Amino acid sequence: MSGGIRRVGVVGGGQMGAGIAEVCARAGLDTVVCEVDAVAARAARERVTASLDRAVRRGKLERAAARDALARTVFTGSLEDLADRQLVVEAVVENPDAKTEVFAALDKIVEDPAAVLATNTSSLPVGRLGMATQRADRVVGLHFFNPVPVLPLVEVVTSLHTSSGTLATAEEFAAHALGKTEIRCRDRAGFVVNALLIPYLLSAIRMTESGFTSASDVDAGMELGCAHPMGPLKLADLIGLDTVASIAESLYDEFKEPLYAPPPLLLRMVEAGLLGRKSGRGFHTYDRG
């Protein structure tokens, strides 16, 4: 079992954090989910419960296994409850200040000096987060993909400080404890998947922004002409337009490539709260119920 790891913590119980917690609990790990307060912790529990229920309804999970997974998951509003964890995955908002604050706090709270501190960031430098701690060699990127219980990939990202032992533990945790397929990459903005994906999504946004064609036709073109399961603008809506913009800004900051720069339309939509599926409207409209 993943280098003896049995006790896992997840900081953040939103869409990604709840998904990471669910796959950990379903894998038989003692899992603690930490949110900002008790109200947010209850919301995280509801998120995990709803996802487990969906898996049962779709025949992907036995009811007893869903009950067991929920029973081995604790939801809390206090970081102090992560003190005994052997591995902690940070999955808070994609904001460097927020993530740095979490890592600085975990460094003081997590008692085992050999514990692995991981970030689920999709674009921020892992090394920078590690430098917020006194154990940068134990910090690694574990970038999961949404929805976590369904998509099999994890990007394992090493900084210049990440030790070979930390890398081995992270890879074994992803591959053997969680049953994911892991790919290894170095610490650069966007890692592998987003460095390829984001310019494609931004190109689709620019095409719509220019009036060249409609959002529905862009998506239909890639779905029916290239056999993509989801068009680029539907995918951007699923990821969250705020997240797409954040990743684009990180890529542009690092590489200064014009194709990485977020288009004005994307930034205006984020400012207007049109974030995609999670807000009910993005390039398409969704039933939030």
Pairing status of strand 153-158 against strand 139-144: antiparallel
Q: CB under 8 Å, gap of 24 or more: what pairs does 269-273 form?
A: 269/241, 270/241, 270/242, 270/245
Cis peptide before 262 (omega within 30 of 0): no
Among the listed residues 2, 94, 123, 143, the single catalytic one is: 143
Sequence-ordered list of residues with C-beta below 8 angstroms from that of 276, at least 6 positions apart, any chain: 236, 237, 238, 239, 240, 241, 282, 283, 286
State phi, psi for 272 to the nearest 5 degrees: -85, 0
Among the listed residues 122, 123, 246, 250, the single catalytic one is: 122
**3-state secondary structure at position 103:** helix
203 is catalytic: no
Among the listed residues 22, 90, 94, 155, the single catalytic one is: 155
Tokens representing 97? 């200040």
120 is catalytic: no
Residue 240, H or E segment? none
284 is catalytic: no
CA distance 31 to 10: 8
Among the listed residues 51, 194, 246, 250, the single catalytic one is: 194
Task: Give CA 52 to chain center in angstroms.
Answer: 18
143 is catalytic: yes
Neighbour tally for 89: CB within 10 Å: 24
Catalytic residues: 122, 143, 155, 194
